[in-house]
């Protein structure tokens, strides 16, 4: 990375996420190359501003980065959801070849996506560690012990976040703290193995100091740190240690603005005007029209919109047939078809022109499908009835669906409040990214209870999540006037939604966790995470940590078996032969991890070791 990456202009430094706390009238850039010999004195203002800069990287995007923003976004759409079988890369086969390689598991260590993602995280760690280096140097009386403790806690939280991003993708990564020597990179730090214990230590330290309430929604509080500590522990399979932390989060947890954790209407989580409410454990803020040319918006998702009909770019991140099929429910119980969901496809318009008559499926489905996936004949937010190929070109390559969770509302576009148009930040939006939401916490708790607790308690947690999906007021409804979506909605469901609860709560005791046993309960929890958190960048990493190869409870080869079954299904889809899924294969013992960028291994002169199989 060039020196210029570490010297933002004054204007760029003053740009931050929505609602962040600014201290002082201007930003002073610290000396990033050697903070211990910085010519300028270290004052409270310089510390404030140095810490503020560390937050810029949370969304995986910063204005001076040399990489395309879609390669590095923290939502991990390509690394977590596409490679996890929830979606295709989209667009056409010749577009973004490195992403196509990741989607079909033929990536190499020279893939530019990995190099850019790695460097974005290392840059973030460099900024964060410099705060911790500079802080002890100050003689400014305004830097009180309490203030220094708060800054240290926030910096360690951020370091934990960035190191966790590294570890999720590559597992065997260097742990880089403030004692590491920077010389155009951290090439003297090796990667002898997983660093979960180091990440856990950072989040523990942050949890013990951070306040319950922060001045802005984008700053972590005690409970956000506790939630990330749990997440690291689950990768480390420390279920017993995570259990009391989850109990505390569920019983006492509040957002950074002091709101008790709760499940809000599902669609609220993906609408800028209703985000940062009770479900937001840690929400990475996004804001447009703030002078940043869209870079403070969610520009990591800038390609991930329908490529015609609604917006002009770019048709990436398209939900897969298998993912959509997972939302089918049993007509009697309303429960997922855990073992048979992929036997047949939910009715779709693949291969049909928009001029051809099409009636959507009348089969029972989970209501979350139509807040997650744009599909033919169903209301699409406030844009109108989804019209098929007129809204999703390149169907043979990308399938008939598009992702709704990143799409902005038409009303917002009209007011320019939440969308920012124009290349190279095309369609950057104010749609914040939910790094952790309360549903995530509840399903972690269910997972832990299956492994070391009570199957009945696990069932209760899953049912809390499903009960929201079963509530009719939170479903997608038909328009009052289909020709004028702005006229509002009826009370008529847009599809045949039926969402049941497990066990006695659903009226069918034979489908309960206790009756089905531990393996059934585990399968149900795993499946619920896909339904609830689909298209949010988690699936690949969930499959990885559940695999027995890394100590997970599902047994060695679980990830490979799951994704190879997915590849076989997609490869056999009619009118979908242009997409190379029929020949793709996930290699067990290799593809569970991504290759460490070859450029980094070369620069490290033997300090970094490549992951197995690459």
Work out the pLDDT band at 37, boundaries 50, 70, 90.
very low
Report the pLDDT value the prediction gives residue 417, as an integer from 0 to 100.
56
Distance in angstroms between the alpha carbons of the first and the last residue of the chain: 24
User: How much is the average pLDDT of 463-486?
Assistant: 97
Radius of gyration of the chain (CA): 23
User: Token pair 């214990």 is at which residue?
Assistant: 197
Which residues are CB-contacts of 184 (< 8 A; sequence separation ≥ 6)? 1, 3
Round to whole Å and give the CA distance between 385 and 478: 9
Report the pLDDT value the prediction gives residue 147, as an integer from 0 to 100.
96
Work out the pLDDT band at 205, boundaries 50, 70, 90.
very high
Percentage of the residues of the chain whose pLDDT score is greater than 90: 75
Round to whole Å and give the CA distance between 612 and 593: 8
Name the H helices within 171-267: 196-207, 222-235, 239-252
Of 114, 103, 108, give the one whose Cα is nearest residue 614: 108
Half-sphere exposure of 517 (CA within 13 A, CB side): 1
Q: What are phi and psi of 398, to 5 degrees?
A: -120, -5
DSSP for residue 259: P
Cα-Cα-Cα-Cα dihedral sign, residues 162, 165, 166, 171: positive
Specify the higher pLDDT residue, 426 or 483: 483
Domain that holds residue 377: 299-571
pLDDT over 60 (residue 70): yes
> pLDDT tens, 542-558?
999 999 999 999 999 99
The answer to whether residues 160 and 228 touch, using CB atoms and an 8 Å cutoff, is yes
Cα dihedral angle (416, 419, 425, 427), rounded to 10 degrees?
Answer: -120
pLDDT over 90 (residue 230): yes
Helix (H) or strand (E) segment spanning residue 566: helix 558-571
Specify the higher pLDDT residue, 415 or 359: 359
Q: Which residues, listed in sequence order, are joined to residue 336 by a DSSP beta bridge?
A: 329
Report the pLDDT value the prediction gives residue 13, as an integer from 0 to 100.
32
Q: Which residues, listed in sequence order, are joined to residue 402 by a DSSP beta bridge?
A: 374
Work out the pLDDT band at 574, boundaries 50, 70, 90.
confident
Report the pLDDT value the prediction gives residue 411, as an integer from 0 to 100.
85
Work out the pLDDT band at 39, boundaries 50, 70, 90.
low
Q: Which residues, listed in sequence order, are joined to residue 33 by a DSSP beta bridge?
A: none
Work out the pLDDT band at 578, boundaries 50, 70, 90.
low
Report the pLDDT value the prediction gives residue 61, as an integer from 0 to 100.
87
> pLDDT tens, 370-428?
999 999 999 999 999 999 988 887 788 889 999 999 988 888 876 655 666 554 445 68
> Is 37 contained in some domain?
no
Cα-Cα-Cα-Cα dihedral sign, residues 539, 241, 223, 290: negative
Range in 97-101, 201-205, 248-252, 441-445 with the lowest mean pLDDT: 97-101
> Is 137 contained in some domain?
no
By DSSP bridging, strand 379-380 and strand 384-385 are: antiparallel
Report the pLDDT value the prediction gives residue 430, as an integer from 0 to 100.
86
> Is 515 contained in some domain?
yes
Helix (H) or strand (E) segment spanning residue 569: helix 558-571
Name the 3-class secondary structure at 419: strand
Neighbours of 507 (CB within 10 A): 12
Helix (H) or strand (E) segment spanning residue 460: helix 455-469
Instruction: Output the 3-class SS for 144-197.
Output: CHHHHHHHHHHHHHHHHHHHHHHHHHHCCCCCCCCCCCCCCCCCCCCCCCCCHH
Round to whole Å and give the CA distance between 566 and 570: 6
pLDDT over 90 (residue 575): no
Domain count within the chain: 1
Of 131, 124, 220, give the one whose Cα is nearest residue 164: 124
Work out the pLDDT band at 217, boundaries 50, 70, 90.
very high
Any idea what the CATH number is for the domain that residue 415 is in?
A: 1.25.40.390
With b for 16 or more beta-carbon neighbours within 10 A and e for fewer, the 164-182 pattern comes to: bbbbbbbbbbbbbbbebeb
> Is 416 contained in some domain?
yes
Range in 31-35, 80-84, 533-537 with the lowest mean pLDDT: 31-35
Round to whole Å and give the CA distance between 381 and 360: 17
Report the pLDDT value the prediction gives residue 85, as an integer from 0 to 100.
96
With b for 16 or more beta-carbon neighbours within 10 A and e for fewer, the 468-502 pattern comes to: bbbeeebbbbbbeeeeebeeeeeeeebbebbbbbb
Round to whole Å and give the CA distance between 226 and 543: 23
User: How much is the average pLDDT of 318-342?
Assistant: 97
> Is 134 contained in some domain?
no
Report the pLDDT value the prediction gives residue 419, as an integer from 0 to 100.
62
Of 95, 96, 98, give the one whose Cα is nearest residue 106: 98
**Average pLDDT, rounded, for the chain:** 89
For residue 57 the two structure tokens come to 């990287």
> Is 303 contained in some domain?
yes
List for the chain the helix, strand, coil content (%; round to 5): 40, 5, 50
Report the pLDDT value the prediction gives residue 404, as an integer from 0 to 100.
95
pTM exceeds 0.85 for this model: yes
> Is 379 contained in some domain?
yes
pLDDT over 80 (residue 19): no
For residue 10 the two structure tokens come to 């004054």
Specify the higher pLDDT residue, 405 or 67: 405
- Longest Cα–Cα distance of the chain, Å, equals 74
Percentage of the residues of the chain whose pLDDT score is greater than 70: 90
> pLDDT tens, 173-191?
999 999 998 877 898 899 9
> Is 85 contained in some domain?
no
């Amino acid at each position: 990375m060039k020196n210029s990456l570490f010297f933002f202009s004054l204007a760029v430094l003053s740009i931050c996420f929505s609602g962040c706390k600014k201290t002082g009238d201007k930003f002073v850039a610290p000396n990033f190359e050697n903070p211990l010999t910085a010519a300028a004195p270290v004052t409270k203002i310089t510390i404030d501003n140095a810490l503020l800069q560390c937050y810029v990287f949370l969304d995986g995007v910063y204005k001076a980065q040399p990489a395309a923003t879609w390669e590095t976004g923290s939502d991990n759409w390509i690394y977590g959801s596409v490679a996890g079988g929830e979606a295709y890369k989209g667009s056409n086969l010749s577009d973004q070849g490195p992403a196509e390689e990741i989607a079909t598991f033929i990536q190499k260590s020279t893939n530019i996506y990995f190099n850019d993602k790695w460097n974005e995280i290392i840059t973030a760690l460099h900024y964060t560690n410099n705060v911790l280096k500079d802080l002890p140097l100050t003689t400014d009386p305004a830097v009180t012990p309490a203030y220094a403790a708060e800054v240290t806690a926030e910096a360690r939280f951020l370091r934990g976040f960035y190191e966790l991003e590294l570890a999720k993708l590559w597992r065997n990564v260097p742990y880089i703290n403030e004692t590491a020597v920077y010389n155009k990179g951290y090439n003297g730090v090796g990667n002898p193995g997983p660093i979960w214990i180091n990440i856990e230590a950072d989040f523990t330290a942050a949890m013990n100091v951070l306040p319950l309430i922060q001045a802005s929604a984008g700053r972590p509080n005690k409970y956000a740190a506790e939630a990330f500590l749990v997440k690291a522990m689950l990768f480390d399979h420390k279920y017993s240690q995570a259990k009391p932390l989850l109990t505390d989060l569920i019983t006492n947890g509040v957002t950074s603005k002091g709101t008790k954790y709760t499940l809000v209407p599902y669609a609220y989580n993906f609408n800028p005007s209703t985000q940062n409410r009770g479900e937001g454990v840690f929400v990475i803020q996004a804001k447009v029209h703030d002078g940043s040319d869209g870079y403070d918006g969610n520009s990591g998702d800038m390609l991930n919109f329908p490529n015609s009909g609604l917006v002009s770019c770019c048709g990436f991140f398209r939900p897969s047939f298998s993912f959509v099929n997972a939302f089918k429910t049993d007509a009697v119980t309303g429960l997922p078809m855990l073992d048979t969901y992929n036997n047949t496809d939910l009715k779709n318009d693949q291969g049909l022109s928009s001029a051809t008559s099409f009636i959507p499926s009348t089969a029972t489905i989970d209501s979350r499908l139509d807040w997650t996936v744009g599909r033919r004949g169903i209301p699409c937010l406030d844009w109108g009835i989804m019209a098929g190929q007129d809204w999703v070109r390149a169907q043979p390559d990308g399938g008939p669906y598009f992702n709704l969770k990143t799409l902005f509302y038409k009303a917002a576009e009209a007011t320019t409040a939440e969308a920012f148009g124009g290349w190279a930040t095309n369609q950057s939006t104010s749609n914040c990214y939910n790094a952790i939401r309360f549903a995530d916490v509840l399903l972690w708790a269910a997972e832990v209870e299956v492994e070391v607790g009570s199957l009945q308690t696990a069932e209760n947690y899953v049912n809390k999540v499903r009960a929201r999906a079963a509530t009719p007021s939170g479903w997608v409804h038909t328009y009052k006037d289909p020709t004028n979506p702005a006229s509002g909605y009826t009370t008529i469901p847009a599809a045949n939604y039926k969402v049941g609860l497990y066990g006695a709560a659903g009226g069918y005791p034979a489908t309960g966790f206790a009756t089905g046993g531990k393996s059934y309960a585990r399968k149900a929890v795993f499946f619920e995470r896909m339904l609830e958190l689909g298209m949010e960048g988690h699936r690949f990493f969930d499959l990885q940590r559940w695999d027995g190869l890394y100590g997970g409870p599902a047994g060695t080869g679980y990830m490979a078996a799951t994704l190879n079954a997915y590849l076989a299904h997609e490869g056999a889809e009619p009118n979908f032969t242009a997409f190379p899924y029929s020949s793709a294969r996930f290699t067990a013992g290799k593809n569970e991890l991504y290759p460490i960028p070859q450029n980094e291994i070369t620069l490290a002169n033997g300090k970094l070791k490549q992951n197995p199989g690459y």
